[in-house]
């Protein structure tokens, strides 16, 4: 793939629920890398937590899932499909992420079939792991559009 896609050109997600700023590498159906730039203006920071804004862990997991969705949807076998969460296993949160930081994202697919898949994602800041999880998903009809 010559040019890397913009996340919104692949995913049906839109702000304020699009948590991948840029795709930096992708091997369709296999893996993807990207990042989420946190400006500090995101509305969840105001309430999580007042005086000590911290990125919610569930949104870190969601950003990994969105990046994994990009890797899946760029595989021609899944054109017109939509990967949905089927489960989250072994999620671990190891570091706080705060406004102004860039969350580096990496997802590798462990299994991928016509109806489901499993991947492993790692989110980090400055080379230090913030979150990692195994992501299970089901593939349904429907997709962006």
- pLDDT at position 142, please? 84
- pLDDT at position 93, please? 98
**Contact call for residues 84 and 138 (beta carbons, < 8 A):** yes
- pLDDT at position 34, please? 98
Residues annotated as part of the active site? 48
CA distance 38 to 121: 19
- Could you give all domains of the chain from N- to C-terminal order, each with its CATH number? 7-141 (3.10.129.10)
User: What's the average model confidence in pLDDT over 27-45?
Assistant: 97
Burial class (CB in 10 A: 0-12, 13-18, 19+), 34: buried
């Amino acid at each position: 793939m010559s040019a890397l896609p913009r996340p919104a050109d692949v995913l049906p997600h839109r702000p304020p629920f699009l948590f991948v700023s840029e795709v930096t590498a992708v091997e369709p159906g296999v893996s993807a890398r990207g990042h989420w730039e946190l400006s500090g203006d995101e509305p969840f920071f105001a309430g999580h937590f007042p005086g000590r804004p911290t990125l919610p862990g569930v949104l870190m997991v969601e950003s990994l899932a969105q990046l994994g969705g990009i890797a899946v949807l760029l595989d021609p076998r899944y054109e017109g499909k939509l990967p949905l969460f089927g489960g989250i296993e072994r999620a671990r949160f190891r570091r706080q992420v705060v406004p102004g930081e860039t969350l580096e994202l990496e997802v590798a697919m462990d299994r991928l079939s016509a109806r489901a898949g499993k991947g492993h994602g790692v989110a980090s800041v400055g080379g230090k792991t913030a979150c990692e999880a195994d992501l299970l998903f089901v593939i349904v009809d429907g997709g962006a559009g």
